[in-house]
């Protein structure tokens, strides 16, 4: 079955002020339990703030490093999930359910892309 990566994009400055409603953690916990029991969720996690990150760039034959925060970027990857689904439609449905679990006042976006499987070397 194909694997998909869901990159969760957030506005880091706005997210700092978000207050989840009391049932948010309960809804998210129930969804994570369901998606894990279905064998779809392979891995998921949030990411630390960009202030703790470093961007590494290769340009004109040189490596460059830029420490966060990345204030010039409005939206950043705030988390990810790796899903194993029968097809993209199923991956999109699980992602829809994940996003719909968030409070209506939040803005959260997900980019869903299939993971390109590399052929395994033969011994």
3-state secondary structure (DSSP) of residue 25: helix
CA angle 75, 81, 86 (to 5 degrees): 125
Long-range CB contacts for residues 21-26, cutoff 8 Å, separation at least 24 = 21/103, 24/101, 24/102, 24/103
pLDDT given for residue 36 in this prediction: 95
Q: Strands 3-11, 109-114: parallel, antiparallel or unpaired by DSSP? A: antiparallel
Structural domains of the chain ordered from first start:
3-48+76-114 (3.30.70.1060)
The whole model's pTM is what?
0.84
pLDDT tens digit at each of 123 positions of the chain: 999 999 999 888 777 777 778 798 899 999 999 999 999 999 999 999 889 999 999 999 999 999 988 777 778 899 999 999 999 999 999 999 999 998 888 889 999 999 998 887 887
DSSP summary character for residue 50: G
Q: Residues 6 or more apart from 68 whose CB is under 8 A from it?
A: 49, 50, 51, 52, 53, 54, 55
| Cα 39 from Cα 50, distance rounded (Å) | 31
């Amino acid at each position: 079955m194909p694997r998909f990566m869901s990159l969760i994009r957030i506005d880091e400055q706005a997210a700092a002020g978000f207050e989840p409603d009391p049932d948010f953690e309960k809804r998210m916990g129930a969804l994570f339990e369901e998606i894990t029991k279905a064998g779809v969720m392979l891995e998921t996690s949030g990411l630390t703030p960009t202030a703790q990150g470093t961007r590494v760039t290769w340009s004109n034959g040189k490596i460059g490093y830029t420490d966060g925060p990345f204030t010039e970027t409005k939206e950043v990857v705030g988390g990810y999930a790796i899903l194993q689904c029968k097809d993209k439609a199923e991956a999109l449905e699980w992602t829809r359910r994940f996003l719909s679990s968030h409070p209506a006042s939040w803005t959260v976006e997900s980019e869903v892309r299939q993971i390109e499987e590399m052929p395994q070397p033969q011994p």
